[in-house]
Amino acid sequence: MADENWRERLSTEEYHILREEGTEPPWSSPLNEEKRVGTFVCAGCGEPLFDSNMKYDSGSGWPSFFTSLEGVFETQTDVKLGMPRTEYHCVKCGGHHGHIFKDGPEPTGLRYCNNGVGLRFVEKD
């Protein structure tokens, strides 16, 4: 999709996070406290990314997950802060969601630290 179409489709904040690889302030997303059963989908394209049973409270201030649905992300190394970090993007639309850290709970030991702005929550019927 052309950049102008993304600007029309997304809010200013969504565009900054998903298309410009921005980061929202910690504790700013209501999805950090989301506890209902359902699915977290990409705010850019609607692709299902995480089930609610993958979410946990990391204390970081961002919605965090110990794994994702299979095959939904591409990763790359990000060195913007002077240290290598694993950044992940939606495989369907390329939207930036956050970074993967190796300080998560079992069974994976991973923490998908996601910008809440990049997600929408769909409650299970």
Each residue's pLDDT, cut to its tens digit, for the chain (125 residues) gives 888 999 999 999 999 999 999 999 999 999 999 999 999 999 999 999 999 999 999 999 999 999 999 999 999 888 777 778 899 999 999 999 999 999 999 999 999 999 999 999 999 98
Say which CATH number the domain at 32 has. Answer: 2.170.150.20
User: Residue 76 belongs to what domain range?
Assistant: 3-123
Q: Residue 116 has what pLDDT?
A: 98
Peptide bond into 107 cis (omega under 30): yes
The domain tally of the chain equals 1
Q: Cite the active site residues.
A: 113
- Alpha-carbon distance of 15 to 6, in angstroms, equals 7
